[in-house]
Amino acid sequence: MAFGGYKLKWEKGRFDPSSKEPYTISRSKIDRFLECPRCFWLEARYGIGRPDTPAFTLNNAVDELFKKEFDIRRAAGEAHPLMQKYGIDAIPYAHEKIEEWRDALKRGVRYHDTENNLIVRGGIDDVWVNPADELHIVDYKATAGKKEVTLEDEWKIQYKRQVEVYQWLFRRNDFKVSPIAYFVYANGLSGKEAFDGRLEFDISILPYEGDDSWIPDTLHDMKACLVSDAIPKTGPRCEYCPYRENAGKKLLELHHGGKKKKAAP
């Protein structure tokens, strides 16, 4: 069903409280829950999701090129020059499931949390392995800014949680995982004299020490939210819930006002 181009997700991925089947949640849904339990609940229980945002096609192109570049080194069993530049003693991890792990929509990395009967899944960008056979979760990012790229911006907590979920998933799949994850950042340079059909980037690698200890309690809270019929609280910084509430109030006001006018003699 669609209204003005917006498709309501009435049946897709809805949670049925009476079902005994495990319910699948993505890494992004965990982030949605932490941002706003009400938005998460409305989509999971009633199929009322937030409007989709346009795809970041340029970022996707950078991701694909990074994957191809590191896959060449993976096949050769050698480190990428960037890894050598930053003193990272590791090589891209050669594993038969690497493409499966990358495909978040069809498969990705999965784990069945039997305590909450939730299947947690996510799609990684890359995995590197060090001489101690520890895996490093790697995520590719693209941006365009004049400042040096860091992980200090408050909103980048989403990026940090993202790799922590991946670390947790690999650990639950019996892999030895290093707490150190890496962000391979491509920063588009806008200070050139001309475009000339070519966009150049500064490439950097930022290490991050993850901590996935928050995930089990979060999954427990998510399951409690899913099975509850009570409307959850809205997130303190959610911009969607105030819009829905204010729009709903105004529409009801206009609706009842129109009824009164029709009923007047």
Residues 126 and 89 reside in one and the same domain: yes
Residues 157 and 260 reside in one and the same domain: no
**pLDDT on residue 1:** 41
Residues 118 and 247 reside in one and the same domain: no
Residues 187 and 243 reside in one and the same domain: no
13 or 251, which is more confident: 251
- Does pLDDT of 217 surpass 70? yes
Q: How far apart are CA 232 and CA 13, in angstroms?
A: 19
Residues 188 and 250 reside in one and the same domain: no
Residues 105 and 195 reside in one and the same domain: yes
Amino acid making up residue 183: F
Determine the average pLDDT of the residues in 249-261: 81
Q: How far apart are CA 136 and CA 126, in angstroms?
A: 9
Give the tens place of pLDDT for each residue, 55-85: 777 788 889 999 999 999 999 999 999 999 9
Residue 90: inside a domain, yes or no?
yes
Q: Confidence class of residue 3 from pLDDT cuts 50, 70 and 90?
A: very low
Residues 259 and 179 reside in one and the same domain: no
Q: How far apart are CA 72 and CA 81, in angstroms?
A: 12
**pLDDT on residue 192:** 74
Give the tens place of pLDDT for each residue, 34-63: 999 999 999 999 999 888 877 777 788 889
**Last residue of some domain: 212, 229, 251?**
212
- Does pLDDT of 240 surpass 50? yes
Determine the average pLDDT of the residues in 10-30: 87
Q: How far apart are CA 183 and CA 186, in angstroms?
A: 10
Are 162 and 205 contacting, i.e. CB atoms less than 8 angstroms apart? no
240 or 192, which is more confident: 240
Q: Confidence class of residue 143 from pLDDT cuts 50, 70 and 90?
A: confident
Determine the average pLDDT of the residues in 76-97: 96
Amino acid making up residue 177: V
Q: How far apart are CA 243 and CA 259, in angstroms?
A: 24
Residues 171 and 108 reside in one and the same domain: yes
Q: Confidence class of residue 260 from pLDDT cuts 50, 70 and 90?
A: low
The total number of structural domains that make up the chain: 2
Q: How far apart are CA 112 and CA 46, in angstroms?
A: 23
Residue 21: inside a domain, yes or no?
no
Please give the residue range of the domain that contains residue 98: 57-212
Residues 160 and 250 reside in one and the same domain: no
- Does pLDDT of 169 surpass 60? yes
**pLDDT on residue 59:** 84
Q: Confidence class of residue 104 from pLDDT cuts 50, 70 and 90?
A: confident
**pLDDT on residue 10:** 45
Residue 16: inside a domain, yes or no?
no
Residue 245: inside a domain, yes or no?
yes
Q: How far apart are CA 167 and CA 210, in angstroms?
A: 8
If residue 142 lies in a helix (H) or strand (E), which one and from where to where? strand 135-143
Three-state secondary-structure class, residue 177: strand
Determine the average pLDDT of the residues in 4-28: 77
| 187, β-bridge pairs | 143, 202
H helix intervals, 13-153? 27-35, 37-46, 57-76, 81-85, 98-102
Rounded to the nearest integer, the mean pLDDT of the chain is 90
